[in-house]
Amino acid sequence: MEPVTEFQTAAVIGTGMMGPGIGLTLAMGGLRTTIVSRSAARAEEGVRKAARVGGQLVDEGLADAGEISRALGLLSGSDQFEETIANSGLVIESAPEDLAFKQELFARLEAVAPRDAVLASNTSGLSITAIAARCARPERILTTHFWNPPHLVPLVEVVPAEKTDMHFAEAVRDLLAACGKTPVVIRKDRPGMIGNRLQMALVREAANIVAQGIADADAVDAVVKHGLGIRMPEYGLLEHMDIVGLDLALRVVEYVVPDLYNEPRAPEYMREMVRRGNLGAKTGHGFYDWSAKNAEAVKARRDRFLAEVLRFRKRSA
């Protein structure tokens, strides 16, 4: 497949949970894509991860084997940072969420990338304006926030920085659409963009509900999974407000909002868990006791559900 946008080559920095899926996505859109890491072994492992998620797309009926084979033919791994970046029209980094680190990385990227390259961050919440603060050409810097798992979740939030030229935001939007994603261009660079602003509102109230003894974690997640969450793939929050009537919606909002957690910080309940070293699945305890719950099984169930939703959308298109 020939790229349908002005981009021909891409580099993806990072081989963790996001980089390989992003790399495969770009290659499926027809870009010759390189996954970059600090060592050749890690870069090749990134390519193998991309092949595995490509196999998952085939197994789930979301791509055919030929399509994935062609994409993998366009995908490679490299530990040659400067050489790879110097030959890339689009660079997407998925490095750790550390502002100082990303600022240094983008200054380095700008020093070696072609002058007409677009540099993008996969940050899930940091300000892209702040990330670009040390760069001389911020007009070509923006956020492309893929959602995890990136090979299954359609959404990508495209966020221009204060000095980004909107031509490049629109070009990246068009590229991502050609890659099969659902890109949304955000108008203002604010912490959390859209998705994580909404998600954090839910997270802090969910923690508050457990802390107040209103319900336990199982009940909170059951309400999300089997109530509001199950209809959201095809029924937006604001569509719901309009359909039930804003007069009714306003009365409910005004009645409930005063009883919600409204402090401008994370709930103390979460802070205390972290202080105690209860960090969730990786330590065995968090909101749940993970000695009795399997994180890999939860993620596998999530992925099966996402694949089923995508198959439904594909049949209904």
Are both 26 and 67 inside the same structural domain?
yes
Determine the average pLDDT of the residues in 104-126. 95
Domain harbouring 278, CATH code: 1.10.1040.10
Determine the average pLDDT of the residues in 61-84. 96
Average pLDDT across the chain, whole number: 95
Residue 190 lies in a domain: no
Number of domains in the chain: 2
Are both 169 and 207 inside the same structural domain?
no
Residue 1 lies in a domain: no
Would the pLDDT of 3 be above 70? Answer: no
pLDDT band at 4 (very low <50, low <70, confident <90, very high): very low
Are both 81 and 34 inside the same structural domain?
yes
Are both 97 and 155 inside the same structural domain?
yes
Are both 209 and 107 inside the same structural domain?
no
Q: What is the pLDDT of residues 173-198, one digit of tens each?
A: 999 999 999 999 999 999 999 999 99
Q: What is the pLDDT of residues 138-154, one digit of tens each?
A: 999 999 999 999 999 99
Are both 263 and 169 inside the same structural domain?
no
Instruction: Look at residues 153, 185, 217 and tell me which one is the last residue of a structural domain.
Output: 185
pLDDT band at 265 (very low <50, low <70, confident <90, very high): very high
Residue 133 lies in a domain: yes
Instruction: Classify residue 142 as left (phi > 0), alpha (psi -120 to 50) or beta.
Output: beta
Would the pLDDT of 281 be above 60? Answer: yes
Expressed as residue numbers, the domain containing 39 is 9-185
Structure confidence at residue 305 (pLDDT): 95
pLDDT band at 317 (very low <50, low <70, confident <90, very high): confident
Are both 16 and 142 inside the same structural domain?
yes
Are both 41 and 155 inside the same structural domain?
yes
248 HSE (CA, 13 A, CB side):
6
Are both 297 and 202 inside the same structural domain?
yes
